[in-house]
Amino acid sequence: MNDPAAETTGPPPLEIPRPFHDAMVKHCLRESPLECCGLLGGIAPRVSSFHPLRNAAASETRYDADPQDLIAAVVALRQRGAEILAIYHSHPRWLAVPSKTDLRENHYGPVPRIIVSLLDLVPDVRIWRLDSDSYQELAWRIVEDDDDEGNVEDEAAGPAGPAVGDGDPHTHTTPESS
């Protein structure tokens, strides 16, 4: 079997335990039609915590993580010796592809960005590395590991449907004009 993740020269694929994946997707669905945001934390490449954040912009087209929520999540990660492994947000009415705004407002450099599109019945989850004028899709995988269920910090966590992702990594360049 040909494993796309094995062909990349970048970091190992992000490993997201199913409870965290499902909690993230459920958060996105619950906040729709507004965009939502949050963090996945852990020690690379394994996610071990889920941190939903309030969208201070309260917008259908933009997100701005609530500063107090963000600080609390970072403090919790540091206390555990963990780090931000990915930042996620939803696209309630768009594809799971970075927008020009996502590129322009990338304040966390190489930290992977997860975009959850809610366009279809089954949400589309994709992970990207962002640069100022381009983006590259990153390999990732869901891991079936019941040991991590206790660390889901969202009371509404639970199954949200089948996983979508694990595709070939691709590099994309944004168009010059909007």
pLDDT of residue 100: 92
Euclidean distance between CA atoms 151 and 149, whole angstroms: 5
Average pLDDT (150-166) is 34
Residue 163 confidence (pLDDT) above 80: no
pLDDT of residue 127: 98
Between 9-18, 26-35, 69-78, 154-163, the lowest mean confidence (pLDDT) is in: 154-163
Q: What is the pLDDT of residues 81-132, one digit of tens each?
A: 999 999 999 999 999 999 999 999 998 989 999 999 999 999 999 999 999 8
Q: Is 35 noted as a catalytic residue in this protein?
A: yes
Kind and range of the H or E run holding 76: helix 67-79
pLDDT of residue 33: 97
Instruction: Scan for tokens 């609390």, then name that residue.
Output: 72
pLDDT of residue 11: 78
CB 103 within 8 A of CB 174: yes
Using CA atoms, how far residue 99 sits from 106, 120, 130, 144, 153, in Å, is 11, 18, 10, 31, 29
Out of 7, 15, 31, 35, which one is annotated catalytic? 35
pTM: 0.79
CA dihedral over 3, 22, 99, 120, signed as positive or negative: positive
The better pLDDT of the pair 3, 18 is held by 18
3-state SS, residue 86: strand
Query: Which letter does DSSP use for residue 79 in this model?
Result: H
Residue ranges and CATH numbers for the domains of the chain are 14-156 (3.40.140.10)
Q: What is the pLDDT of residues 19-45, one digit of tens each?
A: 999 999 999 999 999 999 999 999 999
Residues 6+ apart with CB under 8 A from 52: 23, 24, 27, 36, 38, 153, 154
pLDDT of residue 132: 85
Q: What is the pLDDT of residues 41-68, one digit of tens each?
A: 999 999 999 999 999 999 999 999 999 9
Average pLDDT (127-151) is 82
Using CA atoms, how far residue 120 sits from 21, 30, 94, 163, in Å, is 17, 15, 10, 13
pLDDT of residue 9: 63
- Tokens for 76? 């919790």
Phi/psi at 172 (nearest 5 deg)? -130, 150
